[in-house]
Amino acid sequence: MPESSLHAPVLDWYATHQRDLPWRRPDASAWDVLVSEIMLQQTPVVRVLPAYVAWLARWPTPAAQAKDAPGEAVRQWGRLGYPRRALRLHAAAVAITARHDGVVPDEYEALLALPGVGEYTASAVASFAYRQRHPVLDTNVRRVLARVVAGVQYPPQSTTATERRTAVDLLPEDADTAATWGVAVMEIGAVVCSARSPRCDDCPIATLCAWRLAGRPAYDGPARRRQTYEGTDRQCRGRLLKVLREAPGPVRRSALEAVWPDAVQRERALDGLVADGLVDPLPNGRFALPG
């Protein structure tokens, strides 16, 4: 069975079933796409939607973003999570303005050099915004390929050379078709071939899926690392930054002390936020979002 037999059913399904998301509209700029991709890193679409609209209403171009302080980006980020992304998106806007004349670069290597842009995001922007032929390997695509091609329930913990080869092998020859293919496979992973309860009855490639053909065997490998949160430095950092975000200006140390009782952990977390550039310690002993 040639792998290209997957193309038509996937592309046909996407043509009629794709969600209407703002960053996919024809008039979405490369900046729009970049903002969406950074926001969507580890964050569900439904939570990104309102944040995305507000962000671009305030900063419709990289130059507009670059003119404001990084702390304003952190504040505007709100409760999306992983606020370092806000800092990096701001830094990317500065870099785009300085190095690329305010235009989001269309070359993969130039994209990869931007802060907060890794292998996936560089491919996504090159593909979705500039219609280039790049394999996009996000968690959705990796899961779909793991099931359809490899016949297993879940992909490996980190992206492997085998997965990259599979993604490249499956890429349609025509660049524009390849770009649509990428977002289409992602969409199947997001709304049909979900992690917990795949809806094989609604899947356009169910009859070609190795995992389904094998009877949907359960994941058989090393335990997937579970993420802890309660009581961690991460939770503490979130509490501290929330105080800064919601204050109109600099805050006293006492305001930070009030949200986390463990002094040792609190100081460690605060030091971490300062080291990450998310918090500015002021000479007067107060703390602020970076200026």
Partner DNA sequence: TACACGTGGAC
Partner DNA sequence: TGTCCAAGTGT
User: 78-89: string of b/e by CB count within 10 Å (b at 16+)?
Assistant: bebebbbbbbbb
The binder of DNA chosen from 106, 235, 243, 257 (CB under 7 A): 235
Q: Nearest CA to 89 among 57, 62, 113?
A: 62
| Rounded alpha-carbon distances, angstroms, from residue 81 to 67, 125, 239 | 23, 22, 11
Q: Which of 118, 221, 231, 291 binds DNA (CB under 7 A)?
A: 118
* 26 is an interface residue for DNA by CB under 7 A: no
Its sign, for the CA torsion 32, 36, 39, 45, is: positive
Q: Within 13 A of 3's CA, how many CA atoms are on the CB side?
A: 13
Residue 46: burial class (beta carbons within 10 Å; 0-12, 13-18, 19+): exposed
Pick the catalytic residue: 3, 37, 72, 119? 37
- Output 171-174 pairs: Cβ under 8 A, ≥24 positions apart: 171/133, 171/135, 172/4, 172/7, 172/133, 173/133, 174/133
Site string for DNA, 148-187 (x = CB under 7 A): ------x--xx------------------------x--xx
Which of 9, 60, 102, 115 forms a contact with DNA (CB under 7 A)? 115
CA distance 39 to 37: 5
> Is the distance from CB of 200 to CB of 213 less than 8 angstroms?
no
Count the site residues for DNA by CB under 7 A.
60
Stretch that binds DNA, among 65-73, 95-103, 198-206, 238-246 (CB under 7 A): 238-246
Q: Is the dihedral of CA 153, 8, 24, 162 positive or negative?
A: positive
Rule CB under 7 A: say whether 25 interacts with DNA: no
Q: Rule CB under 7 A: say whether 110 interacts with DNA.
A: no
CB 228, min distance to DNA, A: 8
What minimum distance in Å lies between the beta carbon of 143 and DNA?
Answer: 6
- Active site (annotated) includes residue 119: no
* Smaller CB separation from DNA, 72 or 187: 187
Residue (199 or 253) nearer to DNA, CB: 199
| Residues 120-149 contacting DNA, CB under 7 A | 120-122, 124, 138-140, 143
Least CB distance to DNA at residue 100 (A)? 16
Alpha-carbon distance 81 to 79, whole Å?
5
Distance separating alpha carbons of residues 95 and 31, to the nearest angstrom: 13
For DNA, the binding residue among 16, 227, 254, 284 (CB under 7 A) is: 227
Nearer of residues 18 and 177 to DNA, judged by Cβ = 18
Q: Who's near 68: CB < 8 A, 6+ residues apart?
A: 59, 90
Residues with active-site annotation: 37
| Binding interface with DNA (CB under 7 A) | 21, 23-24, 36-37, 40-45, 47, 79-84, 88, 115-122, 124, 138-140, 143, 154, 157-158, 183, 186-187, 189-190, 194-197, 224-227, 229, 232-235, 237-239, 241-242, 269, 272
